[in-house]
Structure 1
């Protein structure tokens, strides 16, 4: 069991992080928030031992084995850099920082201090993406040729908020599955008031793909979709990572082509969304990385490229999108 402290007691944390912490091998030593009432509420509901309003005092007194900091990109960077400077392993949610340059600073400091700095790009640990990653890495699939990715959430005051702190999820998922992106061309919607755009991308491997973003979110919370095509083979996930199908390579005549295999399938919100979408696996991986029992699936250094692509997308679409 490792001793953790948690900085930030906002809405996202209460929905996706606090409820799952007891599933992991951790001691909930302390919670910190500038709003003491929020921290007290978290202590009462989830069992944190102590409450703080100053994270520096908390770190000095508790001396935890790992720190969670969840409060938005500016908070992740400003507080995260101080946590890393003190030599504590750090978990931050996406986005890790307001810019790719700031993200690179965090990566450099984590390397200097030789500590884990994990970014909560939870899609990497989702059932669909993690299993697709294994399939793509195997010998049966072969070289990916085409990737199609769609994301349907565009809330945020500005397009900068949308792209840098939401659409980064899809960019990161594409990079996680198919590798670095070395060329991108984005085209915004021509419809007034729409926050829709599409980007064509080329991966370093030579594969190509599209990143599709729409403000017309589909019913049933189906706002994450991806497919990957190889030679005679095809992977597809829909329902917010609630299903993954794989059409294996055809070995005989086309009329003997078998039906696609369901790697798994269940309703994203009828099962356990925290597991399905990867929040539980994401935290589990961070804890294992801190313990030294697993490699970090989402180290901050691996997210710099994601933030660079997001900056390029934003440069190309805003304006006209706002």
Structure 2
């Protein structure tokens, strides 16, 4: 595992922010940590990136203990926070070369790395322009490019697309996919559930400092009631025949269609289709409807709040 967290705890005065957090993140994947404001997402990132110390528990990043080996952790990671770290008085190229100096690259290597990243992030044409003239999407791309100057193994992206328009957000998603394809591990915090659904190999839901669920997007969706298969028929006789076979089905009023409760899994679909096949029931259309991550998030956090 590239990131391992066991029993992590953090308080600010009387406010408990992290309450025994456990996380395991495989290398070369995107791991998304979801949670509302105040859930503990940013505190988790700050601890894992050695910016603050935990009150209890253990955490290892890229094989290094964050408390005992902070310098080794810092050498292996990059961090892009909620707010851009770009110096807007400098040009895009100057920002990247400044980061190269901080990473103690030679002047020639710094120029080469800056040019490479400007090209990779589609910023070559704006390289000589002050960052103050950049759009929000360009600033976020430059910010992430600055994070990559040191070729980190692990990148922490703390709400990286906050405030971006839909096109800029999708551009950032493609950049993240490309990084992971190159072997980088991404630890992503976000409030955009669509973002986690698009990018994450695994998702964890954090609520009031506690992990309330973890799994793939599809696994989490199947935990929430409301999933169903919609069957549409060409003739009323087919619908009536299906109703006799499927005792839990309900009719969509005004249409030749049925809703059958289902978790959307391949196994349940095979069972459903097998039952219809055995009775030679003709189905015109079949579509699977599962709860989305919004439903998952609301259901899981409401359960915790109501306890």
TM range (shorter): under 0.3
Alignment TM-score, normalising by the size of structure 1 = 0.23
- Rg bigger for which structure? 2
